[in-house]
Chain A
Amino acid sequence: MQAKVAILIYLMLSFSLSAQEIKGKVIDTDTKQPVPYAKVGFPSINVYTDADSLGGFKFKYLPQSHLKIKVSAFDYKVLVKDIDLASNELLIIELTPLHTVFEEVQVTASEGKVQRENITSIAVVSKDELFQTGATTLGESLIQIPGVQSSSVGMGISKPIIRGLSGMRVVTYNNGLRIENQQWGDDHGMAASELGLGKVEVVKGPSSLLYGADALGGVIHFLDEKYIRKDKDELYISSKFESNSMGTTNEIGYRTHKGKWRANIHANYINHADFQLPDGNFIKNSRFWSTNFKSSIGYRHKNFQLNIRYQLSHRRLGIPGHSHNAQPDVLDFISNKRQRKGTLPAQYNFDHFLLIENTIFFNRSNLLLEIGNTNSDLKEFDEKVTLPFTHLNVNNTSYNFRYSYKLLENMSLKTGVQGMAKINRNRFPSSSLLIPDANTLDNGVYALMDYEYKKWRFQGGLRYDIRFLNVLSAADLDSSLVNNINTDGLKRNFQGINYSAGFVRNAKLTSVRFNASSGYRAPHLAELQADGFHHGSLRYEKGSQTLKAEHAIQFDAALELHFDHLELIINPYYNRISDFIYLVQTDEFEGSFPVYEYKQTDLAHLFGGEVGFHYHPHSIHRLHINSNFSVTIAETNNGDPIGLMPQPNVNTSIRFDINNNHKISFKHVVLEHIYHLPQNRVGPNETFSVDYHLVNLATQFTIGDLKRLSASTGIRNLLNTQYQGHLSSLKNLGLSQPGINVFFSLKYQIK
């Protein structure tokens, strides 16, 4: 033990601690002339600056390590490359002129590469892009990402679906912190908010190698807004109004960076009354409110970086579709009067997320030490005002220690250990248990090697995970509490050996990528122990204690063609899941609720892909046309369709950049068309869905010379289309989704 401590101390002290100032210059690669006012930064340590009018820039207190630098300037190709900061030389950055810049180049958090260089299928979208047509919720905005759809219960609750998989098969991360929030339930929405959000990364397909168990469908990684540049601060207030639900979102935010300290603080309050249907009626109890607080404090000095992030969310979500009639009719769920006052049934969610993230930079390596805790409290009120139907709490403490080492200039290694201790508890008083109390312990160890050779990049890795699940017996509880679960205790271990291997070849005209990755998911408590009503998802569910762990292997290929004015991408995949657990509707009914059973098929085949293009002609420089088509087909080994798969969809947006220089300066106008194709491949007793079109229109502008006041306005569901999303729980009730929605938002930069 003493030897280990001595080695650790030696490692901590072995890197140089001398203060360091890095200077550099940005020049044009053809003319060798300075490029003025370029943006220069290091994404991995969240440090940015602007070059001066002569292209010069400098940084202080940078780690003496290999870091990725990102440099961008108007009409130049974005440059991202590894540099050695220990060399102390003047950095000469050469930028290549480019007349057609398609979009901003993003460096992904998961692989630390620009999007085109990633071997796994990763989509990165900024908050501005997600909300450019005024989406009401973050869940609703995610459907803009190819391969991502969402299921919903009303408007306040939505869950992401990646390539047809959702719930426990999609793992949510928040700045490196794994979020556990009862995501097994269809009516338990995503515990994420657009507050203080910078961008979203979506890893499509099994991603156990870096993210651990359960991520068979993929990972949604929410990343906070960047810290502001050094010696600057910013204070803003913003407000958004939506006509359909008379909804408001009011927000305040502050960002500062003084010396070695940086901080972001944001808070908001959201309130929506009942949503209006295209026919003018309102969906009863679709109202919701939430309040959120998010803060990040960062300290950075030489070779050490610390970030402490804390987030608090409190949400009250009305559950539509409630009736006292034994044989309810669609008219029971709608009203000609809009209401905002809280009524039942409803959910109260109270979440705390804390992450402490340390990075120590060595010359050729860095060590990431992350420790986090999430606590998610969920109360579901059904028919009683003072007594929740169920009250669930999940507390999850997680760790992630990762060592990244640059073995050679073109070869690097990431290795680490990762795990979590999850405690599921029922709180009392409550009327019923939906899942029993349980303790879960996960531990995993992994290594990932990366090698680059000319235009090629190869990656391969291996991971071992073990999960200990201890379901506590509920037999001693009052029988009235345990009507909805199997009360027997259960102790089981699940193990998984997973891998990922692939390559990418990037040339000027083409990018080719192939990746094979695997993942495993242990059955969840609800799948093992459920046996009763779940009012939130409007069905009766039956689980089975004998369910085995699912194992998935995905083959993912992509071909990208990069022309001067046109980009094309074809990204097919095949995801083969053994022992696939799925919910199937039986012929039985319990009261007005259909009975669903958790079943397991030997093999499930999910295949499909995303095809898209981006057209940006030089002759109409302000025009961007983006279109993508996403489809997932899921079937058992016998060729029977697996139910609850999203409709294929085609998303097309036409954006016209204006950027005029007047008192009112318009940024752009966006016209978006979303076409959901019919879903005819359904499970037993599941109903088909017809196709529908949605059209959204929006514009953004600033007011005044200083551009402190910015605004955004537009219309969602412009054609007031009456439609039922295939995975909306309202569909089971015969209800449409919301109709036309005019929105207007203002943001004032106080400082």
Chain B
Amino acid sequence: MKNKFLLSGLIIAGLSLTSCKKCAECHYDAPNGIVEIGEYCGDDLEDIEQSGYTKDGVNYEVHCHDH
């Protein structure tokens, strides 16, 4: 019985302490076509999707996909 409680506790702790970090490949649409800017994860991904990508003083809207 003790083992069952221990196992259940470990499973619950494991599930609540591990988070799924979302990653995606991102790009922006430059005047000469799509420019890939690599993979972003977690907070970085959220930041770049909201604030965009700045290159040569121009801020581009960023699109991220996992394809």
Residues on A close to B: CB < 8 A? 324, 341-344, 383-387, 429
Contacts and interface: CB of A to CB of B under 8 A. Distances in A.
Contact of A386 (B34, B46, B66, B67): B46
A360 B66 CA distance: 56
Contacts, number: 32
B49 A387 contact: yes
A343 B65 contact: yes
The 5 closest A-B pairs by CB, nearest first: A383-B63, A386-B46, A384-B49, A385-B24, A385-B64
A385 B66 contact: yes
A394 to B, nearest CB: 26
Nearest to A339: B67
B65 A383 contact: yes
Interface string B34-67: 1000000000011001100000000000111111
Contacts of B67: 343
B34 A384 contact: no
Given A385-B24, A385-B49, A386-B45, A324 B66 contact: no
A344 B22 CA distance: 13
A533 to B, nearest CB: 14
A344 B34 CA distance: 17
B60 to A, nearest CB: 12
Nearest to B24: A385
Given A341-B66, A344-B65, A385 B45 contact: yes
A343 B23 CA distance: 12
A342 B67 CA distance: 10
Contacts of B64: 383-386
Interface of B: 22, 24, 34, 45-46, 49-50, 62-67
A384 B45 CA distance: 9
B45 A324 contact: no
Nearest to B67: A343
B66 A343 contact: yes
Nearest to B27: A324
Contacts of A344: 65-66
B50 A387 contact: yes
Given A343-B65, A384-B49, 20 more contacts: A324-B34, A343-B66, A344-B66, A383-B63, A383-B64, A383-B65, A384-B62, A384-B63, A385-B22, A385-B24, A385-B45, A385-B49, A386-B22, A386-B45, A386-B46, A386-B49, A386-B50, A386-B64, A387-B49, A387-B50
Contacts of B34: 324
Q: Tell which of B46, B62, B65 has the most Cβ of chain A within 10 Å.
A: B65
B48 to A, nearest CB: 9
A343 B64 CA distance: 10
A350 B66 CA distance: 23
Contacts of A429: 50
Contacts of B24: 385
B22 to A, nearest CB: 6
Contacts of B22: 385-386
B53 to A, nearest CB: 12
Nearest to B61: A383
A343 B25 CA distance: 11
A725 B66 CA distance: 30
A343 B67 CA distance: 7
